[in-house]
């Protein structure tokens, strides 16, 4: 969800990686902002969460004995700074 507003983020990409950082699978969050993975117990995993307009986040998931493990990923929005840049070209004189 959005770390500033608390709004649910649909369309975020969530990748799950094994202990060697090999991607096992990636999914996209639905309108409810959720994804579910079925993983093996007693293994550590890493989640990589990303969405356009937000800072990506990596979350370590510790080994578990089983059952569900809800994880909330709060992404910070990227602050857009717009500046105007003006290029002024002075007269260019050519000698022939």
Domain boundaries, the chain: 1-96
What integer pLDDT is reported at residue 93 of this predicted model? 67
Q: How far is CA 62 from the centre of its chain?
A: 19
Interatomic CA distance for residues 73 and 54, integer angstroms: 12
What integer pLDDT is reported at residue 88 of this predicted model? 64
Per-residue pLDDT of the chain (96 residues), as tens digits, is: 998 999 999 999 999 998 888 999 999 999 998 888 887 777 889 999 999 989 999 999 887 776 777 888 899 998 766 566 666 666 666 675
Q: Which tokens belong to 80?
A: 């857009």
C-alpha distance from residue 44 to each of 17, 33, 61, 77 (Å): 9, 23, 6, 28
Q: How far is CA 33 from the centre of its chain?
A: 13
Q: What global pTM score does this model have?
A: 0.73
What integer pLDDT is reported at residue 82 of this predicted model? 59
Q: Does domain 1-96 bear CATH number 2.60.40.1120? A: yes
């Amino acid at each position: 969800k959005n770390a500033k507003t608390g709004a649910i983020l649909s369309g975020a990409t969530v990748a799950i990686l094994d202990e060697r950082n090999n991607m096992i699978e990636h999914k996209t969050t639905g309108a409810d902002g959720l994804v579910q993975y079925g993983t093996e117990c007693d293994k550590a995993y890493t989640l990589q969460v990303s969405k356009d307009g937000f800072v990506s986040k990596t979350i370590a998931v510790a080994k578990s004995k089983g059952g569900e493990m809800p994880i909330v990923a709060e992404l910070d929005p990227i602050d857009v700074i717009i500046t105007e840049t003006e290029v002024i070209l002075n007269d260019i004189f050519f000698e022939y």
